Chains A and B, each alone.
Chain A
Amino acid sequence: MTRIDDVFRRNDKSLILYTCGGDPDLRTGIDIAGGMEKYSDIIELGIPYSDPLADGPVIQKANNRALSSGIAPDDVFQICSVLKKPVVIMAYYNSVYKYGIEKFCKKAARSNVDGIIVIDLPPEEAVNIKGRLSGMDMVFMVSKNSTESRIKFINEHSSGFIYATAVFGTTGIRDCVDPGLSDFSNRLKALCDKPLALGFGISTPAHVTETFSYGFDAAIVGSALVGRIEQGLNDKHSMLDNIDEFCRYLRSVV
């Protein structure tokens, strides 16, 4: 049993908080991840990448800030290695491929990383990673338009949990959660035996509550948190306070 399995075994409702690793710089990024850790069950750290095509403007800017600070995958692994809670890495495939798939997985596993999500890597292209996971879980994504056979296929290949995307669209802050997600959740539950985490557009404590009410096992919050980094770029202390307050507020509904 992995540490991620353990999270879902212990909790009915889990909170996963995302930040782009090393945004806006390594020092601050370490503090932000450390602050988030108090309130999340699993931490999701992004590897900054130049062309994040599944991300909306908020996380695009986060990637750019981290890259401008010179953040490379090793810096993100350094952040992972100081965290105590389970960590999943979110990457675009080219970052993994260029680093060297085997080297990336070994380094991640050595840095206390518990799972990997590669956003532009469907299971059929993931053979090269799956054989080299060094004990880590591999999380695949499922979409509202995924067919029944596709959902089964994704369930078969995922370990740890399945990442369900709540919207058609990129990551970003949204005003409300689609009520149709109840059907989506039922469809997934009928076909999957892995925990289900919902992300993309989950921006407020009310959204988190709704996520659980639809039957998802975890809520993933990213852009709403990353937006607070952008707002606080001029004053690191108040940024960290603001993030702390937001994360605590999210936690209060779990």
Chain B
Amino acid sequence: MRQFGEFGGRFVPEVLVKNLEELERAFEKSRNNTSFKIKLNDLLGNYAGRPTPLYFAERLSEFAGSKIFLKREDLLHGGAHKINNTLGQALLASEMGKTRIIAETGAGQHGVATAMACAALGLECEIFMGAEDVVRQKPNVLRMKLCGAKINVVNSGTKKLKDAINEALRDWITNVENTYYMIGSVVGPHPYPTIVKEFQKIIGEETKEQIMKCEERLPDVIVTCVGGGSNAIGIFNEFLGNKEVKLIGVEAGGHGLDTDSHAATLSKGSKGILHGSFSYVLQDGFGNVKDVHSISAGLDYPGVGPEHAFLKDSGRVEYATVTDKEAVEAFKITCKLEGIIPALESSHAIAHALKISKRLGRDSITIVNLSGRGDKDMGIVEGIDNDAD
């Protein structure tokens, strides 16, 4: 049983099967339930701040040589698209009668969004975060704590996002009866990739309406960053049927694809199983998962959502890479030209949009999903500048 061509599935120890089946039933019931939808829409509008603007970035466009619009998910409560999903899943968990929520986080954005949704709905919340990420995304750790979340620092494996997911799964295996695992991206065993898509697809729905309103036509290109890939699926989904719209997912090129220090799973990985689903994985010849690198903690992941694997192989979405250095440059340009501080994750998408803009032509329209804001990344960027001095 696979959900996305040959990709997806449910590769988990038996102890989790019952929970996943329960979750699937609860999700199918809720997604079409009117009162669930009313509650969620109220939270998305009045708590999270939807709809988010689609902003024509005039000065960035001038610099780029073609029209660039930014879908401002960074303006959402918590500072990223992650809140769309956590509000949906927190409501789902409440309906299922679960009282304890666990989640993993890399950059801390999903952790923050989980902590906020849990606080707002009165749910107990524990976040698993790799020790390395706790250091490099410290502001988010403080925000999670303030919202009442307990932080479990993960010291196993590579001490990053992959290992945070491992530990969250181990916790779930242990506390299987009262705990809801709120996964933060379109990864994990079925039904998670489908659930997260359901709660993120609003990004693309709004975007389509907004671009039709102001430009009276569909965009030529949509560019997003891809770690696990939830903001990308969120904006792509509505446009998958519009073949004239070119969809590009940008993975973390780290120090370059010719090194081992990148997280370009679709570009350089091979088929395999990680965190319960069949997708692409950065792995060695024996299936052991590689240590990966990106300057952006949210993209620093050796796997990718199974639907992206399907969209890559089917050719519908093109996957590109941007290096750490290019991402930081795009980060700075966006700050200077637009007064918008993008997350380093989203800066990968901006960097790629800038790269391709010249050959697109002046009247072409590119939409970048600005999935998060970059306040959390001040320390990293400052560190780079100091090194350069």
Contacts and interface: CB of A to CB of B under 8 A. Distances in A.
Interface in A45-101: 49-51, 53-54, 56-57, 60, 67, 72-73, 92-99
Interface stretch (B28-36, B127-135, B268-276): B268-276
Interface of A: 49-51, 53-54, 56-57, 60, 67, 72-73, 92-99, 119-122, 124-125, 140-147, 150, 154, 165, 168-170
A166 to B, nearest CB: 11
B9 A125 contact: yes
B11 A121 contact: yes
Interface string B156-183: 1100001000100110011111000000
5 contacts: A95-B287, A121-B11, A124-B1, A142-B14, A170-B174
B121 interface: no
B157 A168 contact: no
Contacts of A99: 286-287
Contacts of B371: none
Nearest to A71: B286
Contact of A67 (B1, B10, B270, B288): B288
B64 interface: no
Nearest to A168: B176
Nearest to A63: B288
B315 interface: no
B10 to A, nearest CB: 7
B177 A51 contact: no
Given A53-B170, A60-B156, A95-B286, A154 B273 contact: no
Given A94-B273, A168-B173, A49 B288 contact: yes
B15 A51 contact: no
List 3 A-B pairs, minimum CB-CB distance, nearest first. Answer: A98-B287, A50-B288, A143-B15
B274 A143 contact: no
A169 B19 CA distance: 14
B12 interface: yes
Nearest to B162: A51
A120 B273 contact: yes
A101 to B, nearest CB: 12
Given A99-B286, A169-B173, A51 B274 contact: yes
A169 B170 CA distance: 7
Contacts of A97: 271-273, 287
